[in-house]
Amino acid sequence: MQGKPDRLFDQWTLRGVTFRNRTVVSPMCQYSADQGIANDYHLVHLGRFALGGFGLVMVEATAISPEGRLTYGDLGLWDDSQIPSLRRVVDFAHGYGARIGLQLGHAGAKAATLPPWVSEEERPADSRWDIYSVTEEPHSAGWQRPSALTAAELEQQLDAWTSAAKRAAEAGFDVLEIHAAHGYLLHRFLSPLSNTRTDKYGGDLEGRMRFPLRVAEAVREVWPDERPLLVRISVIDGEQGGITVEDSIELARRLKEVGVDLIDCSSGGIGAYYNEIRPGYQVQLAAELRRRAEVPTLAVGLITDAQQADDVIRTAAADLVAFGREALINPSWPVTAREELAQFGEGDRFDLLPVQSKSWIGKRRRQLDRVTAAGAGTASREAVNSSASGRT
């Protein structure tokens, strides 16, 4: 006899880390760091999600090296001086019951761009640098042309990945994620649309997977055994002729073999996007990888309402559900969603809230319940009176 299906607000454990529920805040670039160092903005931005009840809060793509930044405002972990400000964020999240993770990345051909609100005319003097990618092809027409990384340079870059991972561990992060999606460096190795190399890091799927797998294996070796390692991938490319679901299933299996614990399933980032964008449009990708690669997955992409998110967990399409822009609009989304789904027990209805808020919200709930009860009583008396006078 099968047990009850898992629910969105059930706890979940991966390696030695237990999450209070299955909700995740996606890593979202904020372009607000100075020399890669986090500041008060990052503390408030990320801290509000911990206060709002999310199970896992992911810090934005954090560069392993200065030249790997998407913009001059990216966070970084290429230097020890960048650890303390991130540890401050970690400590705050832990203080309010959330687990917190960090996404490590290298922007590759997308590096040295600008925040969305800064025009080329406003570009700061120090915002452009030499960039490096899989080949010399720019990310798209009009983008800066990169230099192709040599095999020797790739060997050296492994040190940057592992050094950044060690710093993330020192900062206290519970989870680490490697960014291999959305046109970033590792995605460009995986995609046949961008990887036209003729050495051992190009060619067939085996060659294209070689460097991303080496990165994952090297990071797993230095990342603490009890802490989960995730990889975000584009399960399919944005353009026909690119990465397929079958490719990603094989990649997921291989990542699992080198110690990756969960695949964060996104899509696109290279070429024009052909997949239909609709609510939950990437959930099926997560479900397919989970079923066929037998690896835990995270679903993301236009998941906005409580029932939709709960269905992802109940149907075993994924193990975690991530929210990006929805979390920005409502950083306390888990509190209202849990209420809507009635996934709470006696005495723990508002436990996702910090104690400073819990008493106020509990008081409001009791007031609303009294109003509802009074309204029901009034309606009942009116019905009785109406019936007695023969008007029903």
Instruction: Characterize 104-137 residue by residue with b for buried, 16 or more Cβ atoms within 10 angstroms of its Cβ, and e for exposed.
Output: bbbbbbbbbbbbeebeeeeeeeebeeebbbbbeb
Q: What is the pLDDT of residue 384?
A: 42
Single-letter residue type at 62: T
Tell whether the model's pLDDT for residue 392 goes beyond 70. Answer: no
Give the pLDDT of residue 348: 81
The band of 34, judged by pLDDT with boundaries at 50, 70 and 90, is very high
Q: Mean pLDDT, the chain, as a whole number?
A: 93
**CB distance 25 to 321 below 8 Å:** no
Question: Does the structure show a pLDDT above 50 at 257?
Answer: yes
Q: Is the pLDDT of residue 249 over 50?
A: yes
Residues recognised as catalytic: 184
Per-residue model confidence (pLDDT) at position 276: 78
377 vs 232 pLDDT, higher one:
232
Q: Nearest to residue 66, comparing CAs of 122, 29, 106?
A: 106
pTM value is 0.93
* pLDDT digit string, tens, across residues 270-325: 987 777 788 888 999 999 999 999 999 999 999 999 999 999 999 999 999 999 99
Mean pLDDT within 176-180? 98
Read off the pLDDT band of 38 (50, 70, 90).
very high
pLDDT confidence bin for 347, thresholds 50/70/90: confident
CA distances from 332 to 78, 118, 172, 347, 350 (A): 32, 30, 24, 20, 12
Q: Tell me which residue of 1, 123, 215, 19 sits closest to 10, measured CA to CA.
A: 19
Task: Find the Cα–Cα–Cα–Cα dihedral 50, 59, 80, 130, rounded to 10°.
Answer: -160
At 239 the pLDDT is 84
The pLDDT confidence band at residue 380, using thresholds 50, 70 and 90, is low
Q: Please tell me the predicted confidence (pLDDT) of residue 273.
A: 76
Per-residue confidence at 374, pLDDT binned at 50, 70, 90? confident
The confidence score (pLDDT) of residue 386 equals 55
pLDDT at position 391: 45
Supply the pLDDT for residue 287.
97
Residue 232 has pLDDT above 50, yes or no: yes
pLDDT at 41 over 60: yes
pLDDT band at 75 (very low <50, low <70, confident <90, very high): very high
pLDDT tens track for 112-122: 999 999 999 99
HEC per residue, 9-51: CCCEEECCEEECCCEEECCCCCCCCECCECCHHHHHHHHHHHH
Determine the pLDDT at residue 1. 36
pLDDT for 47-60, tens place per residue? Answer: 999 999 999 999 99
- In this prediction, residue 265 carries a pLDDT of 98
Q: Decide: 322 and 334 in contact? Cβ < 8 Å.
A: no
Angle at 198 between CA 197 and CA 204, to 5 degrees: 85
Helix axis angle, 306-314 to 333-341, nearest 10° = 70
Q: What is the pLDDT of residue 346?
A: 72
Q: Which two three-digit tokens encode residue 365?
A: 């709930």
Tokens 């009850």 belong to: 4
Q: What are phi and psi of 195, to 5 degrees?
A: -95, 100
Residue-wise pLDDT tens digits, 113-155: 999 999 999 999 989 999 999 999 999 989 999 999 999 999 9
* Spatial distance between the Cα atoms of 290 and 297, rounded to a whole number of angstroms: 6
Answer whether residue 365 shows pLDDT above 90: no
Spacing of C-alpha 174 from chain mean position: 14
> Rounded to whole angstroms, how far apart are CA atoms 102 and 38?
13
Phi, psi dihedral angles at 47 (to 5 degrees): -65, -30
Q: Is the pLDDT of residue 198 over 90?
A: yes
